[in-house]
Structure 1
Amino acid sequence: MTDAPTIHPNATVADCDLGVWTEVGDGTVMKDVEMGDYSYITRNCHVVWAAIGKFCSIANDTRINPGNHPTWRATQHHSVYRAEAYGLGDDDHDFFQWRKEHWVTIGHDVWIGHGVTVTAGVTIGDGAVVGAGAVVTRDVAPYTFAGGVLKLGLSSAAFRKSRPKRYKRLRFGTGRATSIRPRCLTFVHWRLTVSFKNTADHCAVSMPTQRPFAATASAIVVGTH
């Protein structure tokens, strides 16, 4: 790996903005995606219309923002919005615009396990962990573990009651979260603005001297993106 994005020859990356020291694995497809510095995504993943933070770890076979179908129509088949492919006229551009408006947002230092599906419009907070095989249809709070099928529309209490083996919990516990989470959320690395410049073969990095948890606004690295 180098500071330039490392993209496997068998990966497909289109209209993406990748930070420094990022990696895209074998067979992965990414379109219209922003991925921050030091994040990586492994094999056979599919990501579209998503913003991924820095220092994220995304395992094999993950789907982020998979395609939706127009379930409110008489038929939800491709032919009603990909009409050109079937010789039925123009594609339904309004439908694709509707899909593009529901981006997935993933914070910094998020770990997404093997085979996870993250549906349209979901936000996963900084430091969260999503267990293998989860289907995420609702937001995940920062620094929580999440697993199973995260159902849309249930309150936290109702969710724990209805799915006692699939509820979410804090990474650091209720007490420790009070002191640890605010410091994690201001971790100095999140303030790095350095990214690989397509017009140059180098990037300048000026690391602050403060300890990570003592980072302040004056420690922000100045750069362009």
Structure 2
Amino acid sequence: MVHSKTIYPRTGDKQTIYLKNVISSPYIKVGDYTMYNDFVHDPKDFEQNNVLYQYPINHDNLIIGKFCSIACGAKFLFNSANHTLSSLSTYPFPLFFEEWHLNKNNVTDAWDNKGDIVIGNDVWIGYEAIILAGVTIGDGAIIGARAVVTKDVAPYTIVGGIPAKMIKKRFDDKTIADLLNMKWWNWPTEKIAQNIEAIQSGNMDQLKNI
């Protein structure tokens, strides 16, 4: 069994990593076994290439759960990419406080702060999808390739498009409720390993009886 602390979980594959083990920013938190694949850039450069406009002055966080699958080129676009809509002008005057003799402590007034990006567990984010600031994606959701996610996504829901809209739920309401109650991703590694067949085959009766 591959240990969650390794960077490259597949022998000979330098395009796929366990993301948690390359993160250095205190504003990015990633759960165990969440993987990122990049065939364009070095996947270890995820913070630089995929987490955009996350300036420390804003203290916004990217929180990603366990067992997520993040495809090449997925982007997380943070609050500092915004320009405030409460002003008569979208020009970011507070950023250029020296030029305009403004209070440098008011730099964050240049954008609207919509909050953190929170990704649940067992979420699949497709190729070149974009997740915007303030969005929460529920456990088990699927984000389609090149979708632009502007609003929260419910657990076990598939979304796609620009802006992303619901395509369908992955399972019926009872199964979704059971999965959210079960939280298999929080089981000990040994327990998950022993029940992978049931997880993959969708044997809820076996999983509920563990």
User: TM tier, shorter chain?
Assistant: 0.5 to 0.7
In the superposition, relative to structure 1, how do residues 150 and 209 fare at CA in structure 2: closer, same or farther (>3 Å)?
closer
Q: 2:158 aligns with which of 122, 125, 145?
A: 145
- Counterpart of 2:35 in structure 1 is 40
Is the Cα–Cα contact under 8 Å of residues 82 and 112 in structure 2 kept in the other structure? no
What runs of 5+ residues in structure 1 fail to find an aligned partner?
A: 8-20, 152-165, 195-204, 217-225
Match of 2:69 in 1: 57
Task: Give the equivalent residue in structure 2 for 1:171.
Answer: 170
- Could you report, residue by residue, the CA deviation over 1:145-177 in whole angstroms, capped at 9, with x for unpaired residues? 1001247xxxxxxxxxxxxxx6420113xxxx1
Partner of 2:13: none
1:92 aligned counterpart, secondary structure: helix
Shift of 1:57: 0.9
> What TM-score results when the alignment is normalised by the length of structure 2?
0.63
CA shift at 1:126, angstroms?
0.8
Which structure dedicates a bigger proportion of its chain to helix? Answer: 2
Equivalent residue number for residue 70 of structure 1? 84
**Residue identity matched to 1:38:** Y
Change (3 A) 1:55 1:91: same
Query: Which of 108, 112, 131 in structure 2 is aligned with 1:118?
Result: 131
Quick one: structure 1 residues 209 and 53, their matched pair in 2 at CA, closer, same or farther if it must change by over 3 Å? closer
CA shift in 2, pair 1:42/1:133, >3 Å: same
1:214 alignment counterpart: 208
Q: Percent identity?
A: 29
- 1:25-45: CA deviation from partner (whole Å, max 9, x where unpaired): 99x996712111111233442
Q: Are 1:131 and 2:130 an aligned pair? A: no
Q: Residue 179 of structure 2 aligns to which amino acid in structure 1?
A: C
Matches within 5 A, 1:188-203: 188-192=183-187
2:82 maps to a residue whose letter is N
**Contact 2:20/2:30 (8 A) holds in 1:** no
Give the structure 2 partner of residue 199 of structure 1.
none
Kindly provide the amino acid, as one letter, of the partner of residue 39 in structure 1: T
State TM-score, norm by structure 1. Answer: 0.60
- 2: CA distance between counterparts of 1:85 and 1:127? 46
Q: Which residue of 2 aligns with 1:223?
A: none
Q: CA RMSD in A?
A: 3.8
The 3-state SS of whatever aligns with 1:181 is: helix
2:65 alignment partner AA: G
Deviations 1:52-104 (A, max 9, x none): 111111112222233211132243334x23235757441425538963x6111
CA drift at 1:142: 1.0
Range that drifts further, 140-149 or 181-190: 181-190
Change (3 A) 1:130 1:214: same
2:177 to 174, 182, 186: 182
